[in-house]
Amino acid sequence: MKWSRVLTVLLLSLAPQLTLSADRTIKDFTLASATDNSVIHLADYNGKVVLLNWWRTSCAWSQKESPKLVELYKQYHDKGLVILGISDDTADTVAQVPAYLKRHGITWPVGLNDQGEFQHEVVLQSKAGDRAAGETPGNYIVSRSGKLTYLGLDRSPEAWQTLVETIKRALDERAPAASPIAPRKLESAPPLELPDLQGKKVTLTSFSGKPLIVNFFNSGSCDWTGAVLSKLNQDYAGRGLQVVAIDLYDSDDAIQQCTGKYGAKYSVLRGDQPTQMAWIGDNKGWATFFVTHDGKVFKKIVDSINNGIEDAVFTKYAEYLVVKR
């Protein structure tokens, strides 16, 4: 065996232990459930030991890990262990998630990665200290006191043993008197005052009293959610949901080409940089916001990926908004 390979094996076996010291306080996050139209809130599990399991159906390592997790859950659930699965499946495999859960006997909540706060505040921040953090199956422990620890990848017997021992220690911790993870406070949507394609001024108050989806786009990102938004508008307008799209700096012809391609029947506005910065906080050419009937931003998603799951996720958030209205 080459010395480089020996060194690699040693580093992989030590990695789960080396990452245990990098704990930090976690914030509440929400994810759309993979099995129904409910929304998962981390804050609902205050005082529990929460194992955040980052996985995907097509990952061979995840497939090997699932039976072990089921046995672990049976053994420690009554002692305070909660498992929250976060599926990193993409559009070509996300429909397989419910069947996968049934096949493996997984009964704990499983959410879909929407590229929102969990991706940014847990995965990407962990990735800054460990480049493997975005791979599967990865595991995180949230202690009873709300501390987040990345355990690394479960790809060796040593890694699994580290995970089990960490859970045992975390379960021995006494739950604090006060809830360490406060529900995420929803902020008011930023101001909005833009012209539509006919030059008529539209403001945020034009949509008050009803749940709203606000999508920023341009000709380069038109295809990311054009079809999804048109379908949501068709399916949910009768239930009070409104959709508004804001184009960023395209010509009238480019805007009409995009909206015509997907038969958009919702409001389309001409954006400007102050509105872009107020809402997105960056010069990104795509972002989507889910706004409650009383004007609070329930979900902010400013990134997408190739083969993303906006169709599955956006539909669940739309359903949630109209039901919770």
65, 33 in Cβ contact below 8 A? no
The full DSSP string for 9-25 is: HHHHHHHHHHGGG--EE
Average pLDDT over every residue of 72-96 = 97
* Residue 125 phi, psi dihedral angles, 5° rounding: -70, -35
pLDDT the model gives residue 22? 52
- Is there a shared CATH topology between the 16-172 domain and the 193-323 domain? yes
Q: Pick from 192, 285, 306, 283: which is nearest to 242 by CA?
A: 192
The burial of 31, by beta-carbon neighbours within 10 Å (0-12 exposed, 13-18 middle, 19 or more buried), is given as: buried
Structure tokens at 100: 């996968």
pLDDT the model gives residue 14? 43
d(CA 314, CA 213): 9
The burial of 324, by beta-carbon neighbours within 10 Å (0-12 exposed, 13-18 middle, 19 or more buried), is given as: exposed
* Residue 217 phi, psi dihedral angles, 5° rounding: -150, 170
The full DSSP string for 262-277 is: TT--SEEEE--HHHHH
pLDDT the model gives residue 118? 97
DSSP state of 184: P
Window from 6-15, 92-101, 132-141 with minimum mean pLDDT:
6-15
- Confidence (pTM): 0.91
d(CA 34, CA 101): 10
Residue type, 303: D
pLDDT the model gives residue 2? 35
The percentage of residues in the chain with a pLDDT greater than 70, rounded to a whole number, is 93
154, 163 in Cβ contact below 8 A? yes
Under CATH, which architecture does the 16-172 domain have? 3-Layer(aba) Sandwich (3.40)
d(CA 189, CA 186): 9
The CATH class of the 193-323 domain is alpha beta
Average pLDDT over every residue of 209-234 = 96
Average pLDDT over every residue of 4-23 = 42
Q: How confident is the model at residue 23 (pLDDT cuts 50, 70, 90)?
A: confident
Where exactly are the structural domains of the chain? 16-172, 193-323
